[in-house]
Amino acid sequence: MQTGIAKTGVVAILDSGQPGPVVALRADIDGLPVLEQNDLAYKSSEIGEFNGNQVPVMHACGHDTHIAMLMGAAKLLVDLKPQLKGKVKFIFQPAEEGAPAGEQGGAEVMVKEGVLRNPDVDVIFGLHISADTDVGVVEYRAGGIMAAVDPFKIVISGKQAHGAYPWLSVDPVVTAAQMIMALQTIVSREIKLLDDAAVVTIGSVHGGVRSNIIAEQVELVGTIRTLNPQARELMYEAMQRKVKGIADSMRASAQLTLPLDYQYPITFNDPALTSKMLPTLVRTAGEGAVQLVTAVTGAEDFSFYQEQVPGLYLFVGGKLLDLPKEQAPAHHTPEFKVEDAGMLTGVKVLVNLTLDFMQQG
């Protein structure tokens, strides 16, 4: 067993003693700075430190269930060792939710530190609990299932002036307003929406200090989400073109930083691997419980493993059958919770994917 990889990660290997592939199973293990508001016996009361501040800590995205599912799968696979061919690598990964300010973390660092080597991994499987999906359901998609994420920053510089004399200024606020609206047209007018999906979101706007001063500078911070490499390349090119063109037209200057501080690739399920393992999912969960889903614009750093080796990422349900979907507590909220029964499906999926892949070679 190896500890301390990517700071707090843990990796263990189960060697069957028989020749065969190396199958990696991954669970993310981090929590979030959220104060839990559930009435549960195991409700979190922990306090931690994040970016220099004391914060409450809660597993508000279900990573505690991911740990439990991988631990359960590990226990069963040890018991089933005579049926294994090859090795199983259990990866407990920190910082999927992002590293502290000024640090790198998560899957990207684990890959850099060699988690997929020694022994070399042939295939990797991962899953995520879903609070608004019925217990027992497994959701899958070949190709892009979760988006690439590319944060960006735009700094627009103009000329400061009195608010009563705007003709003496080069106004970065008005320039920013035009830029924000124009960036949305990349998706609405340049992405072929029948085939692709993309998102441009400006999440932060900062500029100016008072009502009668035209600011010298405005800063925009946002994110891009794309679901295939072609759309991602188009977004990169179009962002540069739009930012420069609008700034020039307004006599301002603008600097685009893209990506800003981190980026996640597309969570891309290898189509051949997905097809190969689909019968395993059906055998495990049942025909009606294995559902093809549309891609989502959330992101997952499991994608860094999939850049190196074929991977399959799935969702498993954690919602009671009689609970309306709209009443299910959302991920990343103080009320988040999932039903323990959902973990049984996840354990079975991890075990059967491993066994069947090893048997098929």
Question: Could you give the residue numbers annotated as active site?
Answer: 30, 96
Q: Residue 116 and residue 122: Cα distance in Å, rounded? A: 9
Residue 227 contacts residue 196 (beta carbons within 8 Å): yes
DSSP letters, 124-187, are EEEEEEEEEEETT-EEE-SEEEE-EEEEEEEEEE-B-EETT-GGG-B-HHHHHHHHHHHHHHHH
Q: Which long-range contacts (CB under 8 A, 24 or more apart) does 44-48 make?
A: none
DSSP letters, 155-173, are EEE-B-EETT-GGG-B-HH
Angle at 20 between CA 14 and CA 25, to 5 degrees: 45
Structure tokens given for 143: 């190709």
Q: Residue 310 and residue 305: Cα distance in Å, rounded? A: 8
- Dihedral pair phi/psi, residue 206, rounded to 5°: -135, 130
Question: What's the Cα-to-Cα distance from 80 to each of 71, 115, 121, 207, 348, rounded to whole Å?
Answer: 14, 24, 20, 61, 13
Cα dihedral 258, 31, 57, 295, rounded to 10, equals: 70
**Residues near 140 by Cβ (< 8 Å), separated by ≥ 6?**
269, 274, 278, 281, 290, 291, 292, 293, 312, 314, 315
Kindly provide the b/e burial profile for residues 144-181, where b requires at least 16 CB atoms within 10 angstroms of the residue's own CB. bbbbbbbbbbbbbbbeebeeeeeeebbbbbbbbeebbe
The shares of helix, strand and coil residues in the chain, as percent rounded to the nearest 5, are 30, 30, 35
